[in-house]
Structure formats: C-alpha cells, structure tokens
Amino acid sequence: MTWTKLDKFCLVAAIAALLALIFPLAGVDGDTGKQVAFVGDIPGLAVAMALCVIAGSAFTWLGVGSVTAGMVILAIAVFGCWQAISVLYDYGVAGYAGPGFWLFIASLWAFVWRGIDVIANFHSLDRTKQHLANFVVPVAFGVWLLFVWEVVVSGFGVPQVLLPPPSMIGERFVNSTDILAADFHQTFVKAVLSGYVMGCGSAFIVAIAVDRVPFLKRGLLPLGNMVSALPIIGVAPIMVMWFGFDWQSKAAVIVIMTFFPMLVNTVTGLNAAGKLEKDLMATYASGYWSTLFRLRLPAAMPFVFNALKINSTLALIGAIVAEFFGTPIVGMGFRISTEVGRMNIDMVWAEIALAALAGTAFYGAVAYIERKATSWHPSFRVRRH
Amino acid sequence: MTLKQVVNNVAEMPASKKAVVDIKKLSLTFQTADGPVYALSDVDLTIEEGDFVSFIGPSGCGKTTLLRVIADLEQATGGEISINGVTPHEAREKRAYGYVFQAPALLPWRSIERNVTLPLEIMEISKEERVKRAQEALKLVELNGFEKKFPWQLSGGMQQRASIARALSFDADLLLMDEPFGALDEIVRDHLNEQLLKLWARTNKTVAFVTHSIPEAVYLSSKIVVMSPRPGRIIDVIETDFPKDRTLDIRETPEFLEIAHRVREGLRAGHSNDE
Ligand SMILES: Nc1ncnc2c1ncn2[C@@H]1O[C@H](COP(=O)(O)OP(=O)(O)OP(=O)(O)O)[C@@H](O)[C@H]1O
Ligand SMILES: [Mg+2]
C-alpha cells in the first residue's frame, strides 16, 4: 500500500482525535482558577475520542469504499457529536472550550465529510435507494452545519444578542408556535400568495398581449429589464399610503416586484419555439391560438417556470421588508422589526427560520410542478427504455 | 422490361393529367446583408397528379427553397406558381401539404403518437379517428409499439420516420419531402424507399422528393429534376417509365444504369457551368 492510497480524511480524523486526547479539553475558569473539565472525568467523551482514533486509523488503511463503511463512519460521528454537546452543557465546558475540544470537532468534521462524500457518490438503479441517498446527503449536511453552529457559539461563549445557538432558536420556535402561525398566515397566506398569483398571472396575460404588438415587444423588454434591476422594495411606503396597513399593500409591493421578471421571461419564452416548428405549424394552416397553445406556450414553459421560481423568492422578501413600513400588529416582518428593538434575538431568529422554511417549501413546490410539467426538457429527462 | 425514356422540356408537355403544381419563370432572390443571394432563377416545372418527382442537385442549389416556395413558406420574387389552380397560400389554407422537413421537427413535449396526431388535432378531427389514423401511419413506418415514447427516446432515424408518419397521417394532396432519408443507413433507407414506393402506388399521391442520392432518385421517381448550383436552375428533367410495382432489383438493369448515368452527366454539366 502506497502513501497516495491512504484515505486522507480518515487519517486526519485519527490524528486529530489522538491529539484531542492529549491536549486540554477546556480552558481555566476565571473565578476559581481551575481547569474546567478533563477527558478522564468524562467516560462518554473518552470512549468517543478513542473510537475516532481506532476507526480513523482502520479506515485510513481500508479506505471508505462502500456505503456501509460510510454509514459506520457517520454513526461514529453522530455518537461523537452527541458526546460533544453533552460535554458542553452537562460538564460546563460551554464558554471555556479548549484545543482538545476543537481538535475533536475537527476529527468529527473529517469523518462527516468523508461519510457524506461516499453517500453523495452513490449510484443505484434501484430508485428507492437512490432517492434515499439523494435525501440523506443534504439533510446530513444541514444537520452538521447546525451542529457546528451550536458548538462554535456555545464553545466560544458568543453572546446571545450577537448569535444565539440553534437549540435556543428551536426552543423559542416550539414555544411560540401560535405567534408564528399567526404571522405566517398574515404574511405568507394573505400577502405572499395573493400578490404572487396576481403579479405572475397578470404579467403572463400581458405578455401574451404584448407578444402580438411588435413595437411593444421591442420597447417593453429593455424597459422591463431596467425596472427589474431597480430596488422596487423602495415603493413599499408609497404602497402603504395607497392601500393601507393591512396585507393589501404588501400584495401590491409583490405584484410590482414579480410583474416584470414574469413579463420579460414569458415574452422571451414565447419566441423560443424554433423556426422549423413554426414552419411546420404553418404548413398545417394552424391559426394564431392553435399555434399559441400547441407550440409556443409549451416551448415557453421552461422560461415561465424560471420566472415563477425567481418570483417565489422575491415575493417572500418583498412581503417581509414591506411590513417594516407599517402593518397591523401581526406578520413576520413586523415581528422581526419589533423583537429586534426588544433585544429578543431568539424570536427574530425563529421568524427567520420560519421564513427560510416557508421560502424553501414554496420554491420546492414550484420546482416540483416544473419538473412534472416540463419533464420533456433536456435538463430533466432521464433516458429510460 | 422495356424502358421508354422521354426527355422533354416540361413546359411543352401536353397536359394530359391534372397539374398539381404549375410553376412558370419562377425566381427567388434573398436580400441579405452581404448582398442579394439568387436562390432560384427561371424555374419552369409542372408536377402532375400522381407524379413522383425527385429533385437532385448539389448542396445549396435551392432544392429546399423550391419546396418551401411550393408550400408557401417562402415568397417568390418573380414568376408564377399555382397549386391545384390556386395560389400556394390558398392551398396551404386548404391543408394541401404534407411536409417532411430535413430535420424531424418533432415537438419534445408530445409523445410519438401525439406528434403524429398533431395535424389531425389542428384539423379538428375526432379523437378516435386521430388515434386510428396515427396507428395506421405509425405502422407504415414500422414504429408501432413506440406510440407512448417521447422523441428523445428514439434514435435519429426513428424520429425521422415518425415525422414521415406525421405527414402521412392526413390526406394531403401533395407530399413534400426534403431529404427524408438523409440521416438513415443504407439498409433502412432501401426498406423505407420500398415502403414509400408501395404507398405511392397504392394511394396515387403526388410526391415532391428532394435527395442527394442518384440511385434513390432513379428508383423512386416518375420524373427526375436535375438542378444546377446557384442560381438554382433546372437543367434537365428526365421521365422514367418503370412499373409502379418495381422492386429494388431494377437497380441492376441497364435501363436503370442508363438513367443514373444521365442524371450524373446532368449534375456534372451543372458543375462545369458554374466554374
Ligand atoms: N432565408 C435565407 N436567407 C438567405 N439566403 C438563403 C435563405 N435560405 C436559403 N438561402 C440560400 O439559398 C441557397 C439555396 O438554399 P437551399 O436551402 O434551398 O439549398 P438546398 O439545395 O436545399 O441545399 P442542401 O442540399 O444542402 O439542403 C443557399 O445558397 C442558401 O444559402
Ligand atoms: Mg435543403
């Protein structure tokens, strides 16, 4: 076995874990002047570190070839993460973490990286297995990032006003579901959905009309591009003046924000059908509407969905920011701006988490419909006989 | 088998049958940024009902352009053209054309069957009838069993056959085929040539067929039109007299070789004119 064939991630993991056993686990308490914690006093952590050393050296030689090996590594990493968290909170290391602790985290990092890498490269003709692997990778990575966030914030004792640990945000999230639900209803269900449907729908219809008028088509596209580059969110105060404090003014902001991306994309898409296909329809003496529905709209769908996806993100941002300018006492944007003032940063983060979840779900839903509706498009199709 | 080989200036031919395509002194000049491109000049041609006319000539000589003028996809800049006694535009409105393009031009979001039924759908034919006709057309090009596949799941040759089935699915007065078999291998090509010939013999359709292959032109046609390089002109029209139920074997006969030779001579003469 040559040097290059060694599994370097596992090697790093083993060495880091070994050093973690040697270096001090935590710093010195300022008041008592004593070392906060020793590995020797914490059997769980000692076992985890030893496991990392053994597994790391074993896999350095064996290599992590199979998914099973990847799972073993990940299982060890999960055990290690659990022990690290417990050391932080049960043994009072939070705020005092020393080189030994961080070396252990580095070792876990190498393991997780290697494990996810193996699963990410998993290819199977069995579709359920493949779907499972495709699902596990982003989830495992996301969980790992949350863990790192938690450990770094607690380990260094970062003040909560600057950045609370995810566990605290989660706790706040779970304990304020009624407030969050009310905010979600106000901002997402009322403002975002109605604004999105009105903005995208009207732009789609206008695009079909514009397409029939050559001078509009020429003149409107540069204008549309210019308008979409403007920070339209600046009109929010004006919309509040026009449409009042409630969700209608937010929906108006969203309509303005989403209108031009949809218009520009749809007009472009309507011209995406090839010349040959248009000639084909012409030889059948296909009329305007027949060609529109049978050729040009289907060919425009990838462009339309592109705009729908862009707009799903824009709409949520628009609604939240627009609420900063005046709103009844409910809504995600309202909550963020008031709780920041009260230094309730964990509540702000809970709202941000809610916005992230809602935004991801919204985008995901649009992307899913796109996949179903334009499965013929080269970017989605899978050759299956 | 005896062969009467009649070579004629088409304009002087006695009009025995109904003329489907009648072209007089047709010319077409494309205005481009680099100056005018003379694609067609002084083309005289009559295609009669039931004719199988092949167009052969070097690349860029205007074969596609001529077919497009017939189908009203391109406007002539001089001369006259009538289809069944009316303008190409009116003929197109009456759905007289079944056009097979040089590329398959299948719509990727439609299954093969729904691609074939596309013209029938536009012509507002009932659903059962559409499916029935698609079945028949797909059978003719031996694509039955592929109805539910999508174009990208088929090979290039199969896609081209699907596009032929689409042109056959409705009863066009005039079948315009632009190098339909250009992308296929010899064996499949021979096979489809036989199928096409059978179809022509059975339905007595009028066909205008562009090809680069001399044997293909001679084998299929009742009339071969040899064209010269730019500006595209007709330099020879050769009528053949093979029986309609001919087989591939005729390619070995002296008559066949003689006509093939004549076509080759015509092409060669066109080339030397060019220099
Ligand atoms: N839209 C157009 N604008 C300008 N020039 C054109 C256009 N279409 C065709 N031409 C020119 O007209 C000439 C004839 O083109 P055409 O496509 O009819 O040739 P072709 O005989 O079908 O050739 P090939 O066998 O390669 O298909 C070519 O020189 C081409 O460059
Ligand atoms: Mg051509």
10 Å Cβ neighbour count for A212? 11
> Please, which residues have CB within 8 angstroms of residue A163's CB and are 6 or more apart in sequence?
A153
> How far is ligand 2, taken at its centre, from the CA of residue B102, in Å?
7
Summarised one tens digit per residue, pLDDT across range B211-240 is 989 999 999 999 999 998 878 888 889 998
DSSP track, B76-119: -SEEEEEETTB-HHHHHHTT-EEEE-SS----TTS-HHHHHTHH
Please report the atom of ligand 1 found closest to the CA of residue B62.
18
Summarised one tens digit per residue, pLDDT across range B98-148 is 999 988 999 999 999 999 999 999 999 999 999 999 999 998 888 889 999
DSSP strand E in chain B: where? 6-7, 19-32, 35-48, 52-56, 78-83, 97-100, 174-178, 206-211, 223-228, 233-239
- With cut-offs at 50, 70 and 90, classify the pLDDT of residue A3: low
Q: Which residues of B touch A374 (CB under 8 A)?
A: 109
* pLDDT greater than 50 at residue A331: yes
pLDDT of A284: 93
Q: How far apart are CA B232 and CA A204, in angstroms?
A: 45
Q: Which residues of A touch B103 (CB under 8 A)?
A: 276
Specify the residue with its C-alpha closest to ligand 1, atom 2.
Answer: B30
Counting ligands in written order, which one lies closest to the CA of residue B32? Answer: 1
* pLDDT greater than 90 at residue A91: no
Considering only the beta carbons, identify the residue of A280, A294, A383 that sits closest to B101.
A280
Q: How far is CA A34 from CA A20, A87, A108, in A?
A: 20, 17, 28
Summarised one tens digit per residue, pLDDT across range A197-240 is 999 999 999 999 988 888 887 777 788 778 777 777 788 888 88
Taking an 8 Å cut-off on Cβ atoms, the answer to whether A383 and B153 are in contact is: yes
Q: Is the CB of B32 inside a 6 Å radius of any atom of ligand 1?
A: yes
* pLDDT greater than 60 at residue A336: yes
Distance from CA of B157 to the nearest CA of A (A): 17
Counting ligands in written order, which one lies closest to the CA of residue B69? Answer: 1
Q: How far apart are CA B184 and CA B142, in angstroms?
A: 14
Report the first-to-last Cα separation within chain A, whole angstroms. 43
> How far is ligand 2, taken at its centre, from the CA of residue B104, in Å?
13
What is the mean predicted confidence (pLDDT) over A324-333?
Answer: 87
Sheet holding B35-48, edge to edge: B35-48, B19-32, B78-83
Residue B175 in contact with residue B205, Cβ under 8 Å?
A: yes
Taking an 8 Å cut-off on Cβ atoms, the answer to whether A284 and B122 are in contact is: yes
Considering only the beta carbons, identify the residue of A279, A285, A295 that sits closest to B93.
A285
Q: What average pLDDT does chain A have?
A: 89
Determine the CATH number of domain B2-96+173-187+202-272: 3.40.50.300
Q: How far apart are CA B252 and CA B178, in angstroms?
A: 26
Q: Give which of B186, B185, B198, B210 is closest to B247, Cα–Cα.
A: B198
Q: Give which of B213, B252, B258 is closest to B238, Cα–Cα.
A: B258
Q: What average pLDDT does chain B have?
A: 86
Q: Which one of B29, B37, B178 would you pick to mutate in the ligand 1 pocket, going by the greatest count of ligand atoms within 8 A of its CB?
A: B37
pLDDT of B273: 54
Q: Give which of A247, A272, A374 is closest to A323, Cα–Cα.
A: A247
Residue B118 in contact with residue B166, Cβ under 8 Å?
A: yes
* pLDDT greater than 90 at residue A169: yes
Instruction: Name the maximum alpha-carbon separation found in chain B.
Output: 57
Q: How far apart are CA B28 and CA B79, in angstroms?
A: 9
CA Rg value for chain A: 28
Determine the CATH number of domain A174-376: 1.10.3720.10
pLDDT of A51: 92
Per-residue burial over A241-255, b if 16 or more Cβ lie within 10 Å, else e, is: eeeebbbbbbbbbbb
In chain A, where the domains are located? 3-158, 174-376
Residue B55 in contact with residue B209, Cβ under 8 Å?
A: yes
- With cut-offs at 50, 70 and 90, classify the pLDDT of residue B196: confident
* pLDDT greater than 50 at residue A158: yes
Interface mutation vs chain A, best among B73, B94, B107, most A CBs within 10 Å = B107
The H-assigned helical ranges of A163-246 are: 166-175, 177-184, 193-211, 214-229, 236-243
